Amino acid sequence: MKISEALRKERQDRNLKQKDMIKNLAISKSHYSQIEHGKHRIYAEDLLKMLADNNIDYHHFFDEVAPSYGFRNDNSELQKEMSQAFYEADVKKAEMLKDKILQQNFPMEYKLHALLIVAELKKTKLDAKTQKEILQLMVSQNDWTKNRDALRIFGNAMKYFDKSVRRTLMQSVLRTYKRIDNFSDEEIIRVATICVNYLFNVDDKHDFNNTEVKQIFLLLQSLEPIPAFLMYKSLGKFYSAVSKDRKEHAKEIKDSLKLAGYTEIAKRLVI
């Protein structure tokens, strides 16, 4: 579906007139009519403003039009498959996907992510060169705590960092997302995932008393009680119970995760 067709479809689905689509834009009705008929192009800034003004989901919109312009979703699909392999602890599948990612022209972030997942599943260590590349890749970004790829890499690679480095990086994330409710659900899930991974990598119960851990508990507790955040809130409560040596409560949470079908995740939870 071309952009012109997608705009017309979105407008008709909302019972809007052409003049409604171009409100607040320096585009005439006749010019916009030509855009919908594919006879005129639209500037990227005008398109984004139009989508925002008319409450059109830009994710859905671009998913609809991208294939018509030669975009393929191989990257996203491979990432989803790799994440699934990780949660299912499927080493063979993860190895196969890693090789596929390394052989193709994917961004360095995807390749490092694949290496990390396989290393985690096989319980092997990363070589010093890869560890250095990971850290350099993260901090090379302007304000890395707001960079999607840098955050994803930190979440997956934190166990390989020195404890003091890991703490410093986590504190930076928490400072940026102190008011977590001001961010989108996608960003909240990204940060919540990092928080849970950080708790998973606490290897000394005394570290549960550290400032950043207490801040993580507060952040996870503050998430809205909606299905999208349920897993993160549950894991936050699990580690909070562990930190207070409330073993029975921690076991209840772990058992409830098993009953909900999160067997592989529950296996990794140590009381």
**pLDDT of res. 43:** 94
Q: What confidence tier does 173 reach under pLDDT thresholds 50, 70, 90?
A: very high
247's tokens = 């073993």
pLDDT, tens only, 15-59 = 999 999 999 999 999 999 999 999 999 999 999 999 999 989 888
**pLDDT of res. 230:** 92
Q: What is the DSSP string of 102-133?
A: HHTT--HHHHHHHHHHHHHHHT-PPPHHHHHH
Does residue 71 surpass a pLDDT of 90? no
Consecutive H or E run containing 162: none
**pLDDT of res. 73:** 58
More confident call, 38 vs 105: 38
Q: What is the sign, positive or negative, of the torsion defined by CA atoms of 87, 89, 93, 94?
A: positive
Does residue 104 surpass a pLDDT of 90? no
Q: What is the reported pTM?
A: 0.66
What percent of the chain is predicted at pLDDT more than 70?
98
- How many C-beta neighbours within 10 Å does residue 58 have? 11
Q: What is the DSSP string of 175-205?
A: HHTSSGGGS-HHHHHHHHHHHHHHHHT--SG
Q: What is the sign, positive or negative, of the torsion defined by CA atoms of 104, 110, 112, 113?
A: negative
The DSSP symbol for 146 reads: G
Does residue 72 surpass a pLDDT of 70? no
Identity of residue 242: V
Separation between Cα atoms, residue 224 and residue 222, nearest integer Å: 6
Q: Which of 75-89, 147-161, 188-202 shows the highest mean pLDDT?
A: 188-202
- How many C-beta neighbours within 10 Å does residue 213 have? 20
Average confidence (pLDDT) over 238-243: 94
Q: What confidence tier does 158 reach under pLDDT thresholds 50, 70, 90?
A: confident
**pLDDT of res. 74:** 57
Region for 124 from its dihedrals, namely left if φ exceeds 0, alpha if ψ lies in -120 to 50, beta otherwise = beta
More confident call, 4 vs 268: 4
Per-chain mean pLDDT for the chain: 88
Does residue 64 surpass a pLDDT of 70? yes
Question: Nearest 5°: phi and psi at 138?
Answer: -65, -55
Residues 40/41/45/50 CA torsion (nearest 10 deg): 60
Report helix, strand or coil for 250.
helix
Does residue 117 surpass a pLDDT of 60? yes
More confident call, 162 vs 256: 256
* 3-state DSSP of 61-94: HHHHHHHHHCCCCHHHHHHHHHHHHHHCCCHHHH
Average confidence (pLDDT) over 145-162: 85
